[in-house]
Copies of this chain bind each other. A is one copy, B any other.
Amino acid sequence: MSPGAPAAVPECEEAPVRPTIGSTIRKPGAPVTEQPRTLHDLETPALLLDRDILGRNLMRMRSHLQALGVALRPHVKTTKSIDIAQLALTGFEPRITVSTLHEADYFLQHGLTDMVYAVGIAPGKLRHAAALIRRGAELTLILDNLSAARAVIEAAEGEQVTYSVLIELDVDGHRGGVRPDSDSLLKIATLLDGRPGIELRGVMTHAGGSYDCRSEDEIRAMAERERAGAVLAAERLRAAGMAAPMVSVGSTPTALFATDLRGVTEVRAGVYMLFDLVMAGLGVCRATDIAASVLVCVIGHNEERGWIITDGGWMALSRDRGTAKQAVDQGFGLVRDHAGESLPDDLLVASVNQEHGIVGRRDGGQIDPARYPVGTLLRILPNHACATTAQHQRFQVLDGDGRIVAVWPRINGW
Chain A positions near chain B (C-beta within 8 angstroms): 1-6, 8-16, 18, 27-32, 40, 42-46, 77, 82, 85-86, 89, 93-94, 99-102, 105-107, 109-112, 119-125, 128, 131, 135, 143-145, 147-148, 151, 168, 170, 173, 175-176, 208, 297-302, 304-305, 309, 311, 314-316, 318-321, 353-356, 358, 373-375, 386-387, 390-393, 409, 411-414
Contacts and interface: CB of A to CB of B under 8 A. Distances in A.
A311 B3 contact: no
30 contacts: A3-B85, A3-B94, A3-B112, A5-B111, A8-B111, A9-B110, A28-B102, A30-B102, A31-B135, A42-B124, A43-B128, A43-B414, A44-B122, A77-B354, A77-B355, A99-B315, A99-B355, A100-B315, A122-B298, A122-B299, A122-B375, A123-B374, A124-B297, A143-B300, A147-B373, A151-B374, A151-B375, A173-B304, A314-B387, A391-B413
A300 B393 contact: no
Given A101-B30, A175-B353, A393 B412 contact: yes
The 4 residue pairs across chains A and B that have the minimum distance between CB atoms:
A1-B94, A29-B105, A147-B374, A120-B299
A250 to B, nearest CB: 14
Given A106-B13, A106-B29, A305 B112 contact: no
A107 B302 CA distance: 31
Contacts of A321: 319, 321
B86 A4 contact: yes
Contact of A16 (B13, B144, B386): B13
Given A120-B309, A173-B304, 11 more contacts: A1-B94, A30-B102, A30-B131, A43-B125, A121-B299, A122-B374, A124-B297, A148-B299, A319-B387, A321-B321, A392-B413
Nearest to A301: B145
A393 B102 CA distance: 12
B374 A2 contact: no
Contacts of A82: 3-4
Contacts of A6: 18, 110
Nearest to A318: B319
A12 B13 CA distance: 9
A61 B311 CA distance: 29
B43 A110 contact: no
B43 A175 contact: no
Given A1-B93, A3-B85, A4-B86, A13 B123 contact: no
Copies of this chain, whole number: 2
A17 to B, nearest CB: 10
Contact of A175 (B112, B309, B320): B309
Nearest to A113: B3
A354 B386 contact: yes
A109 B12 CA distance: 13
Given A14-B393, A319-B318, A4 B302 contact: no
A388 to B, nearest CB: 10
A197 to B, nearest CB: 19
